Amino acid sequence: MASEEKKPRGRAPRQTGKTSGRVTLPMLALKDAVVFPRMVVPLFIGRERSLASVEVSLEENSPIFLVTQQNPDVEEPTLSDLYRVGTIAKIVNALRLPDGNMKIVVEGLGRGTLEDMRYRPELRGRITPVESVYPEDRELQGKMRAVLHQFEEYVRLTQRVAPEIFMSIQNMTDPDMFTDTVCAFLFVAVHERQALLEAIDVSRRLEQIALLLEREIELARIEQKVRSRVREQIERSQRMHYLQEQLKVIQQELGERDEEFGDVDDLKKKIERKKLPREVREKVEEELARLQRIPFMSPESSVVRGYIDWILDLPWRESTKEEI
């Protein structure tokens, strides 16, 4: 991550400006990725035009413009297939892979607006650099503090961001750097990240971040509750299985299982011979399974056994020729 830049603190709001007018830069069209200023990220490059753009950037020692495709399935994007706001970046490392593709590491420098693009072997775009705008007031500081508390909870619940990242963000005083760094570690949909990139007004950007963090925190809490509930059910099932196995061992030591098994087998045979209605058969089999789970000498065992015997003694679907 780039070191924090010291910005002059004026009494008036910072205005959106153009740093050096329009520039023409090689550009990369990204699929399913949004790179923010000051963000250091690896990218894998495979398309011919993208490889050519990287080569030009390296040869000319020039920045490269990163812009996201609206539809990641488009292989040869035109101007209408791209978002208009992207990130001017520099390539800090490049590695040619054995298959001809490249892996590069880029660092975002600032926002830019794509005005036009040209096709050569590489993509080149006409870019207008854009600066963020924010007022130096207490309201902005209050929003930063609220987002910081939310982000701390987000880090704690999701465990997708290293605590060291939060510590570094905690010490940032520059509003523009603070918001962009939080955005870089906010795992939301591509179009939502793009909306954050397009938010030139830092105060508005903070409001958008707060809404997204609130939603993600709520989802993380629900997910945590579901995982906890599933874990409790698994532990309860494992505990019951363990106790049943222990009970079997104890009953075998007491010499009770042989007698119980014989008794249960007799009942199974009686159930099979008896022409019971489907509902009654299901109930009897349920009670028989229950009988196998409880201790043989317990009072409950006698009650369940008596209930099964009573069911089996009833004349289900049996008739006689006697007349009353």
The DSSP-derived string for 240-253 is HHHHHHHHHHHHHH
Over residues 276-297, the pLDDT tens digits come to: 888 888 888 888 888 777 766 6
**What is the rounded distance in angstroms from the CA atom of residue 182 to the CA atom of residue 152?**
11
What H or E segment, with its residue span, contains residue 276?
A: none
SS3 4: coil
Number of alpha carbons in the 13 Å side-chain half-sphere of residue 10: 7
Q: Which CATH number fits domain 23-130: 3.40.50.1820, 2.60.40.10, 3.40.50.300, 2.30.130.40?
A: 2.30.130.40
Give the global pTM: 0.66
Question: What kind of fold does domain 138-223 have according to CATH?
Answer: Methane Monooxygenase Hydroxylase; Chain G, domain 1 (1.20.58)
Tokens of 100: 């001809």
180, with CB counted inside 10 A (0-12, 13-18, 19+), is buried
Sequence-separated (6 or more) residues with CB below 8 Å from residue 223: none
Q: Are 69 and 44 in contact (CB under 8 A)?
A: no
Residue 317 pLDDT: 72
Q: Are 146 and 152 in contact (CB under 8 A)?
A: no
Residues for the chain: how many in total?
Answer: 324
Tokens of 11: 């009494």
Domain ranges of the chain: 23-130, 138-223, 257-313
Higher pLDDT pick, 39 / 135: 39
Over residues 236-261, the pLDDT tens digits come to: 878 877 777 776 666 666 555 555 55
Provide mean pLDDT across the span 302-312: 82
**Side chain identity, residue 153:** E
The CA distances from residue 322 to 214, 312, 319, in Å, are 79, 22, 9
